[in-house]
């Protein structure tokens, strides 16, 4: 019994990451590298709305489906003035292959240190193997407009566009 209690305590205490942000929360400042090695930051996007979609791993079925949906709806996002960025723990080279394979018109960012993911609830710790499938729609003032937990890859793009 003591072993079971200790195991539960250890599991719960290992969830050191922040909870997901909510609409109205300020999104933290961030700076990440895209698939070509260029730096992209929240400062670069100041004054614009953007969607950050966290995905577990490049070239996997769910991530591919979600990316394809966002790709196929990209013109609608642009028409609504929303930039789209994917975020994973994958290295830039893996993200570059993913972009090329799926003809994504948006950048994929590498959060290899898990810094942003931990801050926004996409990972519990810097030791997380993959990011949680969550997204944030961020306003031009850096405030979260909508937070998406438990994202369903095949319908996520339509869901976000519906909220816009």
Query: Would you please indicate which residues are annotated as catalytic (active-site) residues?
Result: 63
- How many angstroms from the chain centroid is the CA of residue 12? 23
Q: Which residues contact 106 (CB under 8 A, 6 or more apart)?
A: 70, 71, 74, 83, 84, 85, 86
Rg of the chain, C-alpha, whole Å: 16
- The whole-angstrom separation of Cα 63 and Cα 86 is 10
Two structure tokens written together for 98? 């993913």
CA-to-CA distance for 41 and 101, rounded, in angstroms?
25
- Residue pair 89/130 in contact by the 8 Å Cβ criterion: yes
Four-residue CA torsion sign, 34, 134, 124, 131: negative
């Amino acid at each position: 019994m003591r072993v079971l209690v200790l195991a539960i305590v250890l599991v719960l205490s290992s969830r050191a990451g922040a909870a997901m942000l909510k609409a109205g929360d300020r999104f933290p400042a961030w700076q990440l590298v895209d698939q070509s090695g260029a730096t992209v930051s929240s400062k670069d996007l100041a004054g614009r709305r953007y969607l950050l979609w966290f995905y577990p791993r490049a070239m996997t079925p769910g991530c591919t489906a979600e990316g394809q949906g966002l790709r196929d709806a990209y013109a609608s996002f642009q028409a609504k003035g929303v930039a789209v960025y994917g975020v994973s723990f994958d290295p830039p080279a893996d993200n570059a292959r993913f972009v090329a394979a799926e003809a994504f018109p948006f950048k994929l960012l590498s959060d290899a240190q898990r810094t942003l993911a931990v801050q926004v609830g996409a990972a519990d710790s810097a030791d997380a193997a993959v990011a949680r499938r969550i997204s944030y729609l961020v306003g031009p003032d850096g405030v979260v407009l909508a937070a998406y937990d438990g994202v369903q890859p095949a319908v996520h793009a339509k869901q976000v566009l519906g909220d816009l």
